[in-house]
Structure 1
Amino acid sequence: MEESNNLIDQLEDKLIDHPERAPLQTQTVQATSQEDMYQYDLKERASQILNGNWGLLGGGVSSGGKEDLPMYSFLLSRPILHYSHRDSFGLRLELTEWFVSADLAEFLLLRIEERMDFDNAAKFGFHPSLNLLRASSQVDLLYGHVLAVSQSSSEKDHLARITVHCAKLIQHELLDKVLVLLGNSLLKYIAKPNRYSGKAFGANIHKLTTIVYVLVCVVATSKQKTERLANALLETDLLVIIPRLIESWKQHPTNTIRVRNFFLLLYKLILFEFGDSSHLAAVESLLDENHLLPAACAKSAKELLLCSPLDYFSLKEDLHDKYPLSDMCMHTSIPPGGPLLEAEREEFMAMNSHSKSMTNLLDAPRTNRAHTVMAQLPVQTLHISTPVSPSPTTPSDFMSGGEKVRKIYHVNQGMPLIYPFTPQQPVPQAVLEAKSLLDSTVRQNYAFKQLHKERLAFMKQERGICNGYDEPKSDTTLEALTSLVLSPCDVEKCRRSLARVEKFFSQCLPQFQVLVEVMMSVISCNKPDVNLRDLELEINMELSFLEKFRADVQTSVQVRSALFRKLESLRVKDTTLWAVSGILVMLLKWFKASHILKSFYFGTVLVDSQFFSVFIEFISDSFNNNALQKLDNENTALSSYEILAAQNKLMNPKIRLPQFDFFRFCLGRREAPSHIRLLNSTPVCRMKHQLDDNGERVVHTTEFNHEFCAVLTNLFNVANELLIDNMSQRVIMFNETKPTDLMKIILLNYENDHLQTPILHIFKKLTPYQGRKWRASNMDVISRIYLKLRLSLKDDWLSGKDLESDFNSCYDQEVALRSLLQFYNMREYPEQMRWLGLTLAK
């Protein structure tokens, strides 16, 4: 097929360049015209569909007897994942994922009466100065009462009793004592980790952590007594203590501290104290409203195409170069509060050719005269009456055996082109209409204004105009935030969230590097180190190898116990990964809402911790892994691509062990299930399909790993946030990991907006740095970008990049960004930066 396409290309080139020689050059293909060859191509493709699997489109037969593809093919049956991204999965699942089998054995010792005298805390004996170095009956009593481990009639009744007990705990002033005791104990461990490393101390810390985790989950779900719990958590500052604890654990690893549980607690505290995704959207709209930005109104109007201030400035410069005699470059018709006023025009330092600032590289306007290609074109000749005709082309050396020369009709757009227009209309009407359209649609967001303000302060310090470290530290007074849309109560919640984010960032700044390193190790360690198909065969009694050979009962029990512990470790890794991915994406988004440079700094820490390579390696292990697939003799009817798309961590069921379920254990249901599924055995081509309105085969997929889908969505959103617009260095770094093939598998095989949107954004940033062959073979991806993502008035991302200039300046861009981040952190948080070894010279 490829040879036939090459033959067609050669024939077209010869017919176009040398029509007089066409009869001599086409004697070998006289019997087949160009239309016949295209028809043959279509028939061959149709025969491949009929003779092969319904799940494939094209492909040959490999040496192993399976149909393989030269590239990744399309699925004729398009699977739609019925997944809705949420920050949490409900109270029952959150409580179940917290406990492991080792915790369930302690519940047998906690069969206590649930009548506790909360009115008399002194009689109960629980106080913040308890000694946790030895076993504490007060902690055990409170632990068992909050979890309601005694017999319940049903799971619904059990959840209701847990909710009631948590409400009593908050009502009778025991909440403050629990938080103070836990916070002080963790601070003692941070100060002297070797002293507080006993087994009793670790057990008491785990029980207190469980109580706090259950309280936060119950209050966040029931939406009751949230103010009381929020004030108590703010006074204890547990959200700040946990990163310090993880840093101490990284330096002195011990089994006393269960870091996995603290990651789960940290994620719930972020959602509770900062806010979830819906609350984050309300905070962003409030900030836009208070800074007179119409972006909030424009988001609701999806049909409105917008233009960024940087693109607007570049286009104005291009128009001024092409029509230098007109005054259309002046900003005279811009609506108030919108784009760029005349006084703000000087903020683009590229306006001044004598300006040499490091921050010029952050938002460099890509004008035509600055494009590298323009320097390679001849200078355009000016004529006062008529345009000069293009110069004659050089005769081709193809006739004498040389290489064929393609004709180029480029015009140097960077040079003025003066036409004798009438004095009444020096600029064409179409250009004037385009200018007015841009004037009315240019928008800037709150992050853009924050970044530009910091650039101005940095340039003052850079040029010695004034001491930039004496600038005001806060550009927004939280008490001044008001809204005509939100209620006063909602506005107060937004203020509290922003203040909490600021406090968390300022106090945890020195711990970010270690915190991110530990989270990267969680992602990199999430690999199936055991074959799931072997576990599935041995765990199920009807397929067990030991049962077939009638092994003794003791050996069988020991083997099954070891296998269940292995499965439980995989389940614990998946749950911890879900919490870590949620922490990363929520921190990036909340830091961005507080200040754009906070998000940039945290993203820089992620980049320095090799997030891109760890992420792509994780995606590869999760999809292209033999440990997640069945044996070859069981997949003989499937092609390698179908196996890759059907048997992975996304399509395989979530690991569930009912005998280790918290609620089932408390209800006394400890019997093992009859059959446990670990692998997906139904490919897309065998699922029940139906035709949609467009006549396409659609498969509605409801059985898949929802938790892993949430992890994928979070990590892709993190990767998209790290790839900053107009910053080429990180795009090149990410492109070196070869991510496009893996992302294309997910994009084309699983239809879901929450999962595909960040992938398409990443593809949009990577596509300009791919070759022409890649673009030609991935037009389906490029088409999806135009169809799915929001368009802008200047969508030239596909072919408008100056790649040579980007490669030359990418490293300098990263240096400029890090210099600006260091300036911001040194001015805003000098005490925290001193812990990192950076101080200001006196």
Structure 2
Amino acid sequence: MEDHKVPIEPLVPPIVDEADLIGNSSADFPVIEAEPEEELNLPLDTAEQQRLLLDQGEAQPAAGPPLTLPGRPGLQRGNSVPTPAPHLPPPAPPVPPPDTPQNDSLSLAQQQSFMRGIPKVEPTPYAFTYDDASSFEEELEEWFSYAVEEQAMLLKTQASYALEWSAYHGLNDASNGEDGLDWATATTSQHRDFVVHLLGGLKELDPALRLKKLEALVYVLLGCWHETAGLSESPTDSETTSGRDSSASTPRSTAYEKSGRQASLIKRNAHLLADNNGVQPVVDVLTSSLLRSCGIDSIPEAPRDSREAERREIWCAMTAVYVLLEVARDEENTGKGLKLRGAILGLDKPGLLMLFVDLIAKLRWDETISLPLSKISLLLWKTMLVTFGGLKQVEKVKEMFRDHNLDSEDSKGQPLITASPLDYHLFRQEISSKYPAYNPPLPLFPLEPENNSILPPLKNHPNKVAGNHVFGSGLGESNGNSTSILHQPVHIATPAPSPPPSPAGPGGKGGKKQNYQTNQMFPFLYPPLDESSNKLGGKGSTDLQDLLVGRKWEGSDIPASILEAAELFAKRMKATRAMKQLWEERVAFMKYERGWTGPDEHPDVDELSLEAKDERKKQAPPPGSPEERLRLVEEFYRIALPNLQSLIIVLIKAILSHVTALVTQSSGANGLQSGFQFQDQNGTTAGRPDMNGFNGHTTVATNEELDAMRTQEVLDKAVTGTLILILKWFKASHILKFEYITQLLVDSSYVPLILKLLQLQEVEKIVNFRSEQEELNFFNFCRAHSRNTSEEDNVENQEGEKQGEESDEDDAAPPPIRRSRQDSNDSGVEPALPSAQLQPPEVDELGFPTNELPKEPITNFSWRAFFTSINYLRIMQKICKNKAHRNLMLVSYKSSQFLRKGLKVPQPELRLYTLKLFKNQVPYCGRKWRQSNMRIITAVYLHCRPELRDDWLAGSDVDAEVDESVPLEQALRSLTHWHNLKRYPESLGAKPGVLEEEQDFFRNELEKMDWGDEAVNEGELEHGWPELQVEGW
């Protein structure tokens, strides 16, 4: 210890005690205060830490000597000596300066503690999990609205069932089960016989008889709710039910415990209908009723019923089909088989999916069709989910095409950062221009040197002139001069000649002298000198350079960093399936454009190969396999191609109606204004219908307003879910199918429409507001009108009905006037919680919470709002990814101020797609925007997956990308149209072989020379060409 005290003792003045040292150390190192115990256990990585720990260790010996020396207290007359001690600290400040600059740089331990402070996993205060759809019970409830007419139809189904059941079994009254025979007590054979009887009645030409049978069948499909509603699921029901198991239970299923038996019976009766071949008759009734609503009669001689009866028939048929689709979807998700899905896919052509696509396409042109778009959209979405599958099935298809020979993880288990062949092509261009003697590994695709895109070379788009200076415009530009130094307008190695002296100006001063310097983009023009330079006419020996550098130069080698970068790039290069498909179409298009393919060549060579013939002999792919799903996607695209544009336009119109309603309303409905009331998980505002989050005071919302808001949310959910499925499955099938849909979305103004919607909405508020009235939901309504209702349910329903009546009567009444603050509790409204508890959880750009997050996950939120908001951003990300023209559209609309709202919600998926949209447009934003949004840029680095060539922040050549954005968009559209015309000519209204006719060079030349078929007939061709002058040939 004495050896250490000699150099260290002057640094610690004897008058500084231990408290001063501790105070100084804590002031210098604010990070160490948070975790002092862990910091002391870390190894001493820097000299600063070692000095710090030594100072703290020496502080105790500094205070110890007065206690161990007994002779010192005897000098009482020396009390004047310690008195100047308070004046000694001023000389002490010169001691810290040598340590201060060293403390400015963070040590390794301090950096580790700082990184521990960054949230690796974003906080998830909401118990929300992104999935294809919500739970079975919630999806079934969203089908039924709060309208009185729809509730009357539900009651009418029970009445029709009672009449049919009693008439079939010869009973007096089966509505109350007094005769001892109801659905629960009947045998399985009785169930089957009755269902077959109802299915036979669906073929009746009399609308009244057909409607009675259909309503009774719908009641059976809804679980015979008069008998089963309000009863929990028994163990026997859970074992015999085909679509329900304990492993598939969700956290939200506890809210439907009282409806367990009804939900299980819904699934069982759906399978009972499918087992008796009842899916096709129900779909036939739906098809005929929908055609009649469109003004097309499938059976012209059939009698027509009243509009009310036709509306009831359409509702019953759609409800029956929706229940079947929802049970089939839940059956596949729970892993109980694909039996019901097979029955739906086995319907007669054109099938259920094309039925809804054609119907929605008709809605574009005929506005007189009075069909609920929300229900049609829900049917389309669920049919697509059942036919193709959800996002999990898409991942299985992508996994099937993934090359498993390539490493996806490193030695530490982290995913490898890969690079696309296009990025490697650009990197190769830069290295070749700086080091012409080095030939990096070849890319996967033989791209042209002047091309920076996989799309075909641009037509009528001349290359840019080589800059304003004589050395060319450098790298990154799409000019051929950057590929070889021998084709430069002025040789780079030759210095530019001095300009002639300009005459003096009026003031006697000459013009500004131009500066000539070497192009910094080409720092190494020629290969380095080697020992053979003298023989080849070099500049002399390298002895002087060897002496200066300290080692002998051994040949014209390349820097090790360049070699390592090229090898790393080549190893990490990965071409996706979409990129390979795009390259194949590019090659085929360029061959067609240059006349290398003739009419004898089949557009699809695979169909003519021997392997294809062998495959035809094989059995069809098994149900549910990736091959079967891709075949269904291909068939759907081929048939629906003429109606895809109309489909997209009608779906976008649904979002437009929502935006229009938000713009026109002035009361701030849907919880979008500043007076929003946060619904906490304890039900503070959810339990009070007068606090519905409309505005600051207790405004009462009528059932009609709440139902309109709920219906619009359900419609938006179905629209975005459909678009996500179309984009994901089309991209898994072929990249140009995906590009065609994105082009339709861009042409339909999807991007500005969603930005306007984000401007009008407060995302952090709408996700916390549920447009629900629990007592009017389907399962609660069935329990209230069943024979199993309890007294508690009756009291709750009576209170709900009473509040509904008061809301209808007092709709125009103004809010009560508060005369004093003390009278706020006398109005019957519960006192509000503190503002900190009423505010929804929020985070900043980096993910740090700005207010106190709840200790338990919030369960009282809007699943629909989360799902729809994420889909809005996800679709926009798919549209704008790697598309300069569309990203410039985001910048021109100033989307950053609207997208910023999504970063406040502590939900990982919502924040991720928001940050991806920011990453797309950052290269085209100015420096001022980047300086003011550095926190967003940091969040992009922390949460978005990086690439090996990740130059999104700097941008290699933004000007060239901007100039080529529109031509590249046009090239992509041309390639997409050519692909559709080549593979699906009938769908586009063209005859097969139209491309070969356009390619006939000699016919086109004859048409240019006005040698038409009318001038040259068959007879003239047989007798030769006597009258034609062909000297010019």
Q: Is the 2:280–2:347 contact (alpha carbons within 8 Å) kept by the matching residues of 1?
A: no
- 2:325 maps to a residue whose letter is V
- 2:719 maps to a residue whose letter is V
Could you say which residue in structure 2 is the equivalent of 1:55? none
1:201-600 alignment runs, 5 A limit? 201-223=310-332, 224=336, 226-236=338-348, 237-254=351-368, 256-289=370-403, 294=406, 302-326=414-438, 328-331=439-442, 340=444, 344-345=445-446, 350=451, 357-358=458-459, 369-371=475-477, 411-413=519-521, 417-418=525-526, 420-422=528-530, 424-467=555-598, 470-473=601-604, 493-526=625-658, 527-528=661-662, 529=665, 530-532=667-669, 563-600=702-739
SS at structure 1 position matched to 2:642: helix
- After superposition, give the CA deviation of every residue in 1:132-151 in whole Å (9 maximum; x if it has no partner): 85562111110111112313
- 1:721 maps to a residue whose letter is K
1:550-699 alignment runs, 5 A limit? 563-623=702-762, 648-650=765-767, 652-668=768-784, 669=793, 670-673=797-800, 699=853
1:661 and 1:685 map into 2 onto residues whose CA distance is 26
2:627 and 2:359 map into 1 onto residues whose CA distance is 28
Could you say which residue in structure 1 is the equivalent of 2:889? 733
> Percent of aligned positions with the same letter in both sequences?
23
Alpha carbons of structure 1 residues 433 and 680: separation in structure 2 relative to 1, 3 Å: farther
Alpha carbons of structure 1 residues 812 and 214: separation in structure 2 relative to 1, 3 Å: same
SS at structure 1 position matched to 2:129: coil
Q: 1:775 aligns with which of 918, 930, 934?
A: 930
- After superposition, give the CA deviation of every residue in 1:786-815 in whole Å (9 maximum; x if it has no partner): 111112221111112422222222111111
2:863 and 2:225 map into 1 onto residues whose CA distance is 28
The alignment's TM-score, normalised by the length of structure 2, stands at: 0.59
- After superposition, give the CA deviation of every residue in 1:661-700 in whole Å (9 maximum; x if it has no partner): 11111111533449899x999568967999x999997614
Q: 1:94 aligns with which of 121, 139, 143?
A: 139
More moved, 437-446 vs 596-605? 437-446
- By how many angstroms is 1:229 displaced? 2.9
- By how many angstroms is 1:190 displaced? 5.3
What RMSD, in angstroms, separates the aligned Cα atoms of the two structures?
4.7
1:119 lines up with 2:193 in the alignment: yes
Could you say which residue in structure 2 is the equivalent of 1:808? 963
Q: Is the 2:338–2:624 contact (alpha carbons within 8 Å) kept by the matching residues of 1?
A: no
- By how many angstroms is 1:759 displaced? 1.5
Alpha carbons of structure 1 residues 383 and 736: separation in structure 2 relative to 1, 3 Å: closer
- By how many angstroms is 1:767 displaced? 0.3
- By how many angstroms is 1:596 displaced? 0.4
Alpha carbons of structure 1 residues 298 and 826: separation in structure 2 relative to 1, 3 Å: farther
1:351 and 1:744 map into 2 onto residues whose CA distance is 32
Unaligned runs of 5+ in 2: 1-121, 166-182, 232-257, 463-472, 483-487, 497-512, 531-553, 613-619, 678-684, 693-698, 785-792, 805-828, 999-1033
Q: Is the 1:469–1:827 contact (alpha carbons within 8 Å) kept by the matching residues of 2?
A: no
- After superposition, give the CA deviation of every residue in 1:85-142 in whole Å (9 maximum; x if it has no partner): 1111111111111011321112222333546652376644526644485562111110
Q: 2:952 aligns with which of 780, 791, 797?
A: 797
1:234 and 1:437 map into 2 onto residues whose CA distance is 51
Q: Is the 1:374–1:414 contact (alpha carbons within 8 Å) kept by the matching residues of 2?
A: no
1:106 lines up with 2:233 in the alignment: no
2:600 and 2:646 map into 1 onto residues whose CA distance is 27
- By how many angstroms is 1:287 displaced? 1.8
2:634 and 2:490 map into 1 onto residues whose CA distance is 55
Q: Is the 1:457–1:468 contact (alpha carbons within 8 Å) kept by the matching residues of 2?
A: no
SS at structure 2 position matched to 1:235: coil
More moved, 588-597 vs 408-417? 408-417
2:371 and 2:847 map into 1 onto residues whose CA distance is 55
- After superposition, give the CA deviation of every residue in 1:526-558 in whole Å (9 maximum; x if it has no partner): 244354479999x968799xxxxxxxxxxxxxx
- 2:386 maps to a residue whose letter is F
1:563 and 1:695 map into 2 onto residues whose CA distance is 36
1:145 lines up with 2:145 in the alignment: no
2:634 and 2:267 map into 1 onto residues whose CA distance is 32
More moved, 192-201 vs 440-449? 192-201
- 1:214 maps to a residue whose letter is V
1:744 lines up with 2:900 in the alignment: yes
- 1:741 maps to a residue whose letter is Q
Alpha carbons of structure 1 residues 227 and 293: separation in structure 2 relative to 1, 3 Å: farther
1:443 and 1:356 map into 2 onto residues whose CA distance is 23
Q: Is the 1:182–1:209 contact (alpha carbons within 8 Å) kept by the matching residues of 2?
A: yes
- By how many angstroms is 1:506 displaced? 1.1
Query: How many pairs does the alignment contain?
Result: 684
Q: Is the 2:202–2:213 contact (alpha carbons within 8 Å) kept by the matching residues of 1?
A: no
1:775 and 1:149 map into 2 onto residues whose CA distance is 60
The alignment's TM-score, normalised by the length of structure 1, stands at: 0.72
SS at structure 1 position matched to 2:853: strand
2:848 and 2:597 map into 1 onto residues whose CA distance is 64
1:299 and 1:622 map into 2 onto residues whose CA distance is 46
- After superposition, give the CA deviation of every residue in 1:714-751 in whole Å (9 maximum; x if it has no partner): 111100111141x311111222222101212211x123
Q: Is the 2:731–2:737 contact (alpha carbons within 8 Å) kept by the matching residues of 1?
A: yes
2:898 and 2:644 map into 1 onto residues whose CA distance is 29
Q: Is the 1:79–1:750 contact (alpha carbons within 8 Å) kept by the matching residues of 2?
A: no
1:662 and 1:492 map into 2 onto residues whose CA distance is 32
SS at structure 2 position matched to 1:525: helix
Alpha carbons of structure 1 residues 142 and 806: separation in structure 2 relative to 1, 3 Å: same
1:261 and 1:612 map into 2 onto residues whose CA distance is 25
1:34-53 alignment runs, 5 A limit? none
2:837 and 2:516 map into 1 onto residues whose CA distance is 48
2:431 and 2:481 map into 1 onto residues whose CA distance is 19
Unaligned runs of 5+ in 1: 1-76, 332-338, 362-366, 389-404, 481-487, 545-558, 624-644
SS at structure 2 position matched to 1:126: helix
- By how many angstroms is 1:301 displaced? 5.5
- 1:742 maps to a residue whose letter is F
2:834 and 2:974 map into 1 onto residues whose CA distance is 53
Could you say which residue in structure 2 is the equivalent of 1:31? none
* Higher RCO by CA contacts (8 Å cutoff, separation 6 or greater): 1
Alpha carbons of structure 1 residues 759 and 359: separation in structure 2 relative to 1, 3 Å: farther
1:606 and 1:693 map into 2 onto residues whose CA distance is 31
Could you say which residue in structure 1 is the equivalent of 2:975? 820
- By how many angstroms is 1:752 displaced? 2.3
- 1:286 maps to a residue whose letter is M
1:368 and 1:301 map into 2 onto residues whose CA distance is 40
1:811 and 1:440 map into 2 onto residues whose CA distance is 33
